[in-house]
Amino acid sequence: MYQVVMLNDDYTPMEFVVMVLQEYFKRDLETATQIMLKIHHEGRGVCGVYSKDVAATKVELVLAAARRGGHPLQCIMEAA
């Protein structure tokens, strides 16, 4: 299993991170906000744990959404 991790930066709006968590990780507003705050305060936050293929797809979806929005948001996957 692999965890999908978002990394903090000083440019991506918090609202965008919450939207990504809701749209691509099916988190409710409260959970998405908690994860976003963890990313903001600790520098990284786990969005979810998935099989390798699903995790890789989610990373690509997040990175594509960030590029479309003009944000430098980084998302990685690592063994859980």
- Span 5-53, pLDDT tens digits: 999 999 999 999 999 999 999 999 999 999 999 999 999 999 999 999 9
Q: pTM to 2 decimals? A: 0.94
Q: Helix, strand, or coil here: 61?
A: helix
Ordered by where they begin, the domains of the chain are 2-71 (3.30.1390.10)
Half-sphere exposure in the Cβ direction for 19 (13 Å, CA): 10
| CA gap 73, 80 in Å, rounded | 21
Q: Is 40 exposed, middle or buried (0-12, 13-18, 19+ CB in 10 A)?
A: middle
> Do residues 66 and 72 touch, judged by C-beta distance below 8 A?
yes
For residue 54, the model assigns a pLDDT of 98
